[in-house]
Amino acid sequence: MKLNPKLVLGPLLLVALALLAAVGYLYSLRLSRPLVKILPGQEIRSYEGKDLSSVNDFRENSIKGPQTVEINSYRLKVTGLVAQPQELTYDQVLGKYQSYQKVVTLNCVEGWSATILWQGALLRDLLADAKPQPGATTVIFHAVDGYTESFPLKYFYYNDIILAYKMNGVTLTPDRGFPFQLVAESKWGYKWIKWIDRIELSSDANYQGYWEQRGYSATGSLDQPF
């Protein structure tokens, strides 16, 4: 008996389409759910009389979903207009720089907020080791997913801005920006770049980050419309 190719290929095509749809659905779930969930009791929920939000209270709104960084090959680079470019492992950052803690609230333009005890190194200390050159006016942050953000260099000199590696006493999870997230105090949440792998010193005061290129405020200040 000779089979009709159309009768054979039809069901196979339907099966293939169903499999593709299932793979797409599973992938979307992976992007929309935290890769690691912190269990109750593992994190600090109050600090110096202040109630803290949970690590799990954040919405996933990154441009390409949570990123997984291979920490053994990871390097944090400080480049651009610097006299001494830096290339640091994760452990070197944690071991070399004094650790600071501060309660700071992240306010998202979507209308939600989270108050967290952040822990990390001061950006001012990292920049000092790289020795910014006289022409440097701007700090541009690059993330592993291609996201970028920029700030005036003076923002880090006049404020105690933390490059965080812990929140509420636990190490950042992949969905929260491991290994490093910027705690951009007094700025809207889109300035709080995650998965940082390069810090670039530049003379381009007009540099626009990912959302600034799409019409958002360059300053990202909470006291101004975004």
Closest C-alpha among 179, 180, 184, 188 to residue 222: 188
Closest C-alpha among 63, 52, 42, 21 to residue 149: 63
Query: Token digits for 158?
Result: 């006049």
DSSP β-bridge partners for residue 188: 107
pLDDT digits (tens, 9 = 90+) for 36-75: 566 767 899 999 999 999 999 999 999 999 999 999 999 9
pLDDT digits (tens, 9 = 90+) for 118-175: 999 999 999 999 999 999 999 999 999 999 999 999 999 999 999 999 999 999 999 9
Predicted model pTM:
0.83
Separation between Cα atoms, residue 179 and residue 29, nearest integer Å: 23
Closest C-alpha among 220, 207, 99 to residue 162: 99
For residue 94, what is the enclosing H or E element?
helix 90-96
